[in-house]
Structure 1
Amino acid sequence: MPLDKISAQISANLASAEQKMPPVDQWHPPYSGEIDIVIKADGHWFYQGGIFKRKSLVKLFASVLKKEADDYFLVTPVEKFGIKVEDAPFLITQWQWLDEQKTIMQVSTNLEDSFILNAQHPLKISDDGSLYVTVRRNLPAKVHRNVYYQWVDLAQQESTKQGTELVFFSAEHRFCLGRLSN
């Protein structure tokens, strides 16, 4: 089976899980105030200073998380509450190749969302050099340091007009981890 068909089939299977998420992008309720929920840079969720101990509760809240501009909200069809996110609401904590040729990479978040690293879920470099992947509904996941170092090991050096870049490929897309200083 051709690579693009394999990638499309795997993406469709993973997308079906994403379709089970509430359609928060279609909900536009009025602003209802703030809730004292903070998603720390390490991926832990806190309410009034105490950590959420039940992952199932975090996953429930994450399913109704929405980003508008640089602000984050928990939304229902009738309410919209602002929360604080220190960096990104998710962390990329695992990855694996889905094929023997090592051309399709699946990544997973700390909340067990899994998807193919591809054009719909691109890898981006922030101004400070941190790496982020778009998870769902324009929500970012920061690439955990351990994953970053594993990707550096598999990346290839490529000369470009901007300098030497560390790159790898997934689902027929090129992803850059950064530039090497000369």
Structure 2
Amino acid sequence: MPYEAPPELASLTLAQIAEQVKQRKLPPVEDWSPQKTGDSLMRIAADGTWFHDSGEIRRPAMVRAFAGLLTRDAEGRHWLVTPFEKLSIEVVDAAFIAVDVSEVDGGLGFRINTDELVIAGPDNPITARGDPETPGIYVTVRRGLEARLNRSTYQQLLAIALARGDDWTVRSQGTNFALQPS
């Protein structure tokens, strides 16, 4: 079955974004408890580029497939999980990059670099880290995984915040999020 990317984020209502999120079929890695562990020899660079054994993974379908198996444990380690093994993966900053944002119907929808859609809210909070001069803004995707906003997405989100007022906050699904690190 050929891959079909979700529609442009700006053309969707919040309900349509939620439906796209719901339709995404992900493997139930939370239910798997493989006994075998190891190293995947994979790395996700700060810019979201995936590497295996020092070579870039150039096929987007492969990246999307691996991304569906990705999880992060309570200690902050990232893993690729299958029913048979759990392999560590080095993540330099965040597992994903948020490449677009849209404010619609009281919510903030994000597209990440694997074409997944995420709605910020209580289950998918926006977090500001770093310092006020060089903040890093992240949105939780799933399973403890985060997407760092790229520059243009951060600028879009900042424009949304400044349109609301000058307190550098945004609101999504009834929850306020600060865009400046504490």
TM-score normalised per structure 1: 0.81
CA distance in 2, matches of 1:106, 1:150: 12
Q: Distance in 2 between matches of 1:138 and 1:73?
A: 11
CA-to-partner distance for each residue in 1:25-60, whole Å, 9 max, x for gaps?
111212421121010000000011111110000000
| 1:21 counterpart residue number | 26
Counterparts of 1:148 and 1:97 in 2: how far apart (Å)?
13
Aligned to 1:112: 115
> Which residue number in structure 1 is paired with residue 128 of structure 2?
125
1:10/1:157 CA distance change after superposition, 3 Å: closer
Query: Secondary structure in 2 aligned to 1:149?
Result: helix
Partner of 1:3: none
For residues 79-103 of structure 1, give each alpha carbon's deviation from its aligned partner in whole angstroms, at most 9, with x where no partner exists: 111111101110111112334xxx2
Q: Percent identity?
A: 31
Q: Mark the runs of 5 or more structure 2 residues left unpaired by the alignment.
A: 1-12
The answer to whether the 8 Å contact 1:157/1:166 transfers is: no
Paired residue for 1:46?
51
Give 1:150 shift: 1.9
For the aligned residue pairs, the C-alpha RMSD in angstroms reads: 2.4
1:22–1:64 CA contact under 8 A, matched in 2:
yes
Give the unaligned 5+ runs of structure 1.
1-5
Q: Does 1:169 align with 2:174?
A: no
Q: Does 1:74 align with 2:74?
A: no
What is the CA–CA distance in structure 2 between the aligned matches of 1:106 and 1:11, rounded to whole Å? 7
Higher relative contact order (CA 8 A, sep 6+): 2
Q: Which among 89, 99, 117 is matched to residue 95 of structure 2?
A: 89
Larger Rg: 1
Q: Note the alpha carbon deviations across 1:119-154, whole angstroms, 9 max, x for none.
A: 111101224431111101221111112111222222
Aligned length: 166
